Amino acid sequence: MFVHVSDGEIFKHWKRRASLYLSKQNYTDWELLSIAQHNGLPTRLLDWSHNPLVAFFFATIDNLDVDGAVYIFQPTEFVDFTKVSPFEIKSKYLFYQPSTSSERLANQFGYFSVHSQPKEPFDDESITKIIIPKRFKKEISRLLNQYGINYLLLFPDLEGLSKHLSWFYEQ
């Protein structure tokens, strides 16, 4: 039997168990949610990067049989994370620029949009979408690697090393 659980409930359980793997103990919920997002937990955060090359990496590195896309958006409203919980956002969405609480966040130049209704599509008339035809994705990822934008940089851990070497030798 499947029971619907909110993202807040899942995060609560993640937080309880994650302390074993974290280097310090005094993270805010915002920092922990960012770390959780960057380590595979489904959250109400949507990843963005300030670096367009990082965005192109994620748009081209896999799913080579379908076109990729990079979305460009200039955020105007940022959350005051000292005053509100990630689960108490009243606006449709706000942007959050996290502290560099992990190397992944730092290397990916990450920031997030946080959504009050995380299951609703993020649609805003000022989003620009750049389509990357599937026939160019492999070549773009090779070029990005020459500029140092690869798994090894963006995932500075054993997972990143393993993915980078696997990708490199498949090329």
The pLDDT score that the predictor gives to residue 3 is: 56
Q: Is residue 153 part of a domain?
A: yes
5 within a domain of the structure (yes/no): no
The answer as to whether 1 is a domain residue is no
Dihedral sign, Cα of residue 137, residue 143, residue 145, residue 147: negative
Q: Is the pLDDT of residue 154 over 90?
A: yes
Query: Is residue 26 in some structural domain?
Result: no
pTM for the whole thing?
0.85
The percentage of residues in the chain with a pLDDT greater than 90, rounded to a whole number, is 44
Per the structure, the complete domain to which residue 104 belongs is given by 45-170
Q: How far is 49 from 34, CA to CA, in rounded Å? A: 13
Q: Is residue 62 part of a domain?
A: yes
For residues 45 and 121, what is the distance between their CA atoms, to the nearest angstrom? Answer: 12
The answer to whether position 137 is within a domain reads yes
The one-letter code for the residue type at 135 is R
Q: Please report the pLDDT score of residue 101 as a whole number.
A: 67
Q: Where are the alpha helices (DSSP H) in the chain?
A: 7-18, 29-38, 52-60, 103-107, 134-146, 151-154, 158-170
What is the count of structural domains for the chain? 1
- pLDDT over threshold 80, residue 4: no
| Residue 23, domain member (yes or no) | no
Q: For 35-78, how does the pLDDT look when each residue is reduced to its tens digit (9 = 90+)?
A: 898 888 988 899 999 999 999 999 999 999 999 999 999 888 89
Distance CA 154, CA 164 (A): 10
Highest mean pLDDT among 15-24, 61-70, 73-82, 106-115: 61-70
Residue 10 lies in a domain: no
Residue 86 has pLDDT above 60, yes or no: yes
Question: Residue 100: which pLDDT band, with cuts at 50, 70 and 90?
Answer: confident
